Structure 1
Amino acid sequence: MHELNDSWRTVEPSAGGPDPVRESMRRLPRFCELPLTLLTGRPHAGQRPLHHTPTGHLTNAVVSMIVGLTLSALALSAASWYLLLLLPGWAVTLHGARNLRMMIYHQCAHMNMWGRRRADTLLGRIIAAVLLIQDFGRYRDEHVRDHHALHHMTLRDPTVQAFLVSLELRPGMSRRRMWRTVLGKLVSGRFHCRFLAARVRSYFHSATPAWRVGTAVGLTALFLLSLWLDFWLFLLVAWVLPMTLFYQVVNVLRLCVKHTFPAPGQAPRRGREYFAGLTNAIFIGETAPSPDLPTRRRAAAWFRWGARMLLVHFPARYLVLTGDTVVHDFHHRHPMSREWANYLFAREDDHVRGTPGWPPYHHVWGLVPAIDHVFDSLRAADPEEFHPDRLAEVSHRELFAAFDD
């Protein structure tokens, strides 16, 4: 993998040694071990693995959405301070929906949810209809054919198409300009309207006639029922808002950390060394304060560390890098692994064993450094290879659907 900025990028040793950032957190009480592992995406050295199941992840996602909608309902049914429940209501609803999309739907596309084609396909189609995202059949075909094959991070990859056309980012742009462009998109009403329209189009254009009719009838019935029973405000605030504006914001941020662009002239563009270099883990958190600090400085350092973990790193993990997205590099090395439900420990075990048959893993600590890493790779990419004019034959309205890749 080409080096762009070694001051923030961390390369794990091939021997699989413990990570100093994660190990520093072992200074906290033992009951913090599991929450910190789930938050950071990195187990500490020697930590006993959890045993999750695909059905357990599905249940957690659905329960999260139900809890989130319940909190929003409580907020809207009362006055005064109860309205504060809207924030956690939105967050929990969005978290469940993102886990459905980024983990469950994704594994269904690989026929790796339960390993039963009919059941995985049915669940994938249900999720696509509920979230109004790209039709499952088309997503499955494009994802496996163009994202997990020789076309990975080429102009045929939907991820690259979304960067060049929908986000309007270009090779050679400065990191600051890329940030300004992306943040401008996130607050642009026009961008979000086009994004939502493309989501709806990408579903209804490609879904089978039966699913198109069924989804349209279901949405119409829900709308009419909300008017008749007078819960239209709840539907709008508790479901439509987080599933449109908030969903699309975190989707863009997630896109910006998925994969790096290949370096100019990098050859050969095949083999495990090349493909492993296009994906890295993204761990969330920062080094815990040193016990050697003077008492007052140590107290201030722990207060700052706790505040940043709670207010900066937790939202990044809970809303943007949900589920197994923190260790997406494990998926690209082992896309059909039946251990995907135990993703954190499966990746750590592979790392400790020396990544048999693969080059060493790479990782970045923090969402913003991870975005910087991807932006730097695009800045250094070949401007001729990744020129948007080469995408002229691709429909612009379809490119917005690539955000859901």
Structure 2
Amino acid sequence: MTDGLVTTNPALIGEREAAEVRDAMPSAGPVLALPLTYLTGKPYTGQRGPRLRPGHHVVFGFVSMLGGLALSCWALSGLLAGIWWFSPVLVAGWAVSLHGMRNLRMMVYHQAAHRNLWARQSVDRPLGRVIAGVLMVQDFERYTVEHVADHHAVHHMTVRDPTVQAFLIGLRLAPGMSRRRMWARVLVTLVNPVFHARFLIGRIRSYFQPASARTRYVTAGVYLLIAVALVWTGWWPFALVCWVWPLTVPYQVSNTLRLCVKHTFPSPLAAERKGRDYFGSLTNAIFIGEAAPEPGRGIVHVGRWARWWARMLLLHFPSRYLVLTGDTVCHDFHHRRPMSREWAGYVFERQADVDGGHPGWPQYRAVWGLVPAISVVFDSLSAADPREYSVDRIAAISGRDLFSAFDD
């Protein structure tokens, strides 16, 4: 069945149902309530949150990235000294670094490209350029133009959109494929070294090729000086293990899984490909977590709560911390209010828009959990028009390294 816009899916629920799931979770006391809200991406009914500003996300991103790097270096020094139990500390350092990298990319760099970080080009643009050079992602100036022109506005979720290109070319998914086949192809892709090598090369090319000569020379010079210093001091193994590794394969795994939940594909039965009802239907929130156990007593009830907490901490928290970082859980709010000056408080600003009746836009929709959210997108692609979403149509579009589309 279709609603004329996107394929319906039982995992997609309205705000009332989403609120019922969140309100049933523990919310007593400030120690638990706020962390659980930022984990899920959904406030409980009536909750008020802190007023975050852009500077908070900039600082948190860099502190996390550099703090994780320091933690990884400390753990690696312990491992080299024969302290084997430092292994989980090294993994934790990678995770903290990756979290910071992804927050800088998905929020700070992204908002700077929209000229909406601090809405001051004298600050937004240099910071965006620095982040692009540090993370080796698409040249900031090119990204700013392509993201707004091809991912927003009339080209959203057409073959001009880099999200669509990454699905059809990079992941080799297509309309008509079953959900199971798409899952299998993505999972195999994520452990394919050829894919990661092409992805990394695409990132490097997307940074250097469009950049100005001055940017290329400065970036290459800085990296050369760092490389010489690392070799000279003998710290190059630390750089490879503690910096290059999380910046490549784990970063690209996170990025690819994030890609798979960004937007649903429109149904072939959609009457019109314009208007707020149409564009609003292509993006939903991805809340992280699941319904809490029903009230009860006894050891069975305790076991159910223990299982719930275990899944929240061991399954849903990594999904939030490493994949759906920052405001990606509320990406639907960004597409409705891309120039909102209150974007830094994304969780509570989205809820305020819901409570205010989201004027001019259709009802918000959401999915609980990363895996169900990916399945919703796969189902929508499976039902999409194969004539519209074809590799041949993308092949007619020139001027883009298709692997750069993964990092849009």
Name the TM-score, length of structure 2 as normaliser: 0.96
Counterpart CA distance in 2 for 1:18 and 1:206 is 43
RMSD: 1.5
Residue type matched to 1:117 in 2?
A: Q
Select which of 91, 115, 136 maps to 1:132.
136
Query: Which residue identity lines up with residue 298 of structure 2 in the other structure?
Result: T
Report deviation, 1:3. 6.1
Among 222, 242, 249, the residue aligned to 2:246: 242
What is aligned with 2:115?
111
**1:303, distance to aligned residue in structure 2 (A):** 1.0
Match of 2:290 in 1: 286
220, 228, 233: which one pairs with 2:232?
228
Q: How does 1:384-395 map to 2 (within 5 A)?
A: 384-394=387-397
Among residues 327, 351, 355, which one is paired with 1:352 in the alignment?
355
How far is the alpha carbon of 1:394 from its aligned partner? Answer: 3.8
Alignment check: 8 A CA contact 1:273 1:358 kept: yes
> 1:203 is matched with which residue: 207, 227, 234?
207
Q: SS in structure 2 opposite 1:74?
A: helix
Taking the TM superposition and a 5 Å limit, the aligned residue runs for 1:162-173 are: 162-173=166-177
Q: Distance in 1 between matches of 2:346 and 2:193?
A: 36
| Unmatched tracts of structure 1, length 5 or more | none
The residue type equivalent to 1:277 in the other structure is S
How far residue 287 of structure 1 moved from its aligned partner, in angstroms, is 1.2
Does structure 1 retain, via aligned residues, the 8 Å contact 2:72–2:90? yes
Tell whether the 8 Å contact from 1:253 to 1:320 is kept in structure 2 after alignment.
yes
Is the alpha carbon distance of 1:282 and 1:18 closer, same or farther for their aligned partners in structure 2, counting shifts above 3 Å? closer
1:368 maps to 2:392: no
Distance 1:157 1:164, change over 3 A: same
Contact 1:18 1:45 in 2 (8 A): no
Match of 2:327, as an amino acid? D
Number of the residue aligned with 2:187: 183
| Whole-Å separation in 2 of the counterparts to 1:161 and 1:3 | 19
Q: What is the CA deviation profile of residues 156-215 of structure 1, one whole-angstrom value per residue up to 9, with x for unaligned ones?
A: 011101111111000000000000111111000000000000000010001111111111
- Return the offset for 1:28: 5.5
Structure 1 residues 205-264: Cα deviation after superposition (integer angstroms, max 9, x where no partner) = 011111111110111111111110011111000000000000000100000000001100
The separation in 2 between residues aligned to 1:250 and 1:394, in whole angstroms, is 27
Return the match for 1:338 from 335, 341, 352.
341
Q: CA deviation at 1:49?
A: 2.1
Q: SS at 1:206's partner residue?
A: coil
Query: What is aligned with 1:45?
Result: 45
Amino acid at match of 2:37: T
Q: Indicate conservation of the 8 Å contact 1:91/1:319, yes or no.
A: yes
CA distance in 1, matches of 2:90, 2:40: 26
Cα distance in 2 for residues equivalent to 1:392 and 1:290: 52
Letter in 1 for 2:73: A
The residue type equivalent to 1:82 in the other structure is F
- Aligned counterpart, 1:25: 25
Give 1:92 deviation, angstroms: 0.3
The alpha-carbon deviation at position 7 of structure 1 amounts to 3.2
* Alpha-carbon contact 2:6-2:267 (below 8 Å) kept: no
Distance change (3 Å), C-alpha of 1:4 and 1:263: closer
1:387 alignment partner AA: S
Per-residue CA deviation, residues 20-69 of structure 1 (Å, 9 max, x unaligned), is 11101136555210110010000111111211010111000000012101
1:99 Cα deviation from its structure 2 partner = 0.3
Q: In the alignment, is the contact (CA less than 8 A) between 2:190 and 2:253 conserved in 1?
A: yes
In the alignment, the residues of structure 2 paired with residue 146 and residue 136 of structure 1 have an alpha-carbon distance, to the nearest angstrom, of 15
Whole-angstrom distance in 1 between the partners of 2:399 and 2:165: 9
Amino acid at match of 2:77: S
1:164·1:170 contact (CA, 8 Å) conserved in 2?
yes
Say yes or no: does 1:261 pair with 2:268. Answer: no
In the TM superposition, structure 1's runs of 4+ consecutive aligned residues that sit over 6 Å from their partners are: none
What is the percentage of aligned positions where both structures have the same residue?
57
CA–CA separation in structure 1 for the residues paired with 2:54 and 2:38: 17
Taking the aligned partners of 1:4 and 1:26, their CA distance within structure 2 comes to: 33
| Contact in 2 for aligned 1:64/1:96 (Cα 8 Å) | yes
Q: CA deviation at 1:291?
A: 2.1
